Amino acid sequence: MERYAALELHTALSQWCTRIRATEELRACFQHLYTKHAAKPMQASMFKDALLAVQQCDSRAPCQQAVEQLVQAATAVLPQQKK
């Protein structure tokens, strides 16, 4: 959880200049950490960050593509009630 918090994805997702990279990092977290290594508090933080990424998506094609990939990765691992 400490390493995830150190990424400060919440802040990075809110800033235009770091939004795409932060979305890609969050996608990687969902793909590699969510089901195997993430404790419940970390899973909750990841879910909140994913919601923020969707809300903050802008009109740039790379941003939209990164958010689409994030949603696909999250959908693959999230429990049914959060999809």
Question: Is 61 a domain residue?
Answer: yes
Task: Tell me the pLDDT tens digit for each residue of 47-67.
Answer: 999 999 999 999 999 999 999
Cα 83 from Cα 79, distance rounded (Å) = 7
For residue range 4-37, list pLDDT tens digits in order: 888 889 899 999 999 999 999 999 999 999 988 8
What's the domain count of the chain?
1
Cβ atoms of residues 13 and 52 within 8 Å: yes
Q: Of the candidates 68, 75, 33, 34, which has an alpha carbon nearest to the alpha carbon of residue 54?
A: 68
Quick check: is 5 in a domain? no
- Residue 69's domain comprises 16-76
- Model pTM above 0.85: yes
7 falls within a domain: no
d(CA 73, CA 41): 19
Q: Which residues of 22-41 are buried (b: 16+ CB within 10 A; e: fewer)?
A: bbbbbbebbbebbeeebeee
Residue 57 domain flag: yes
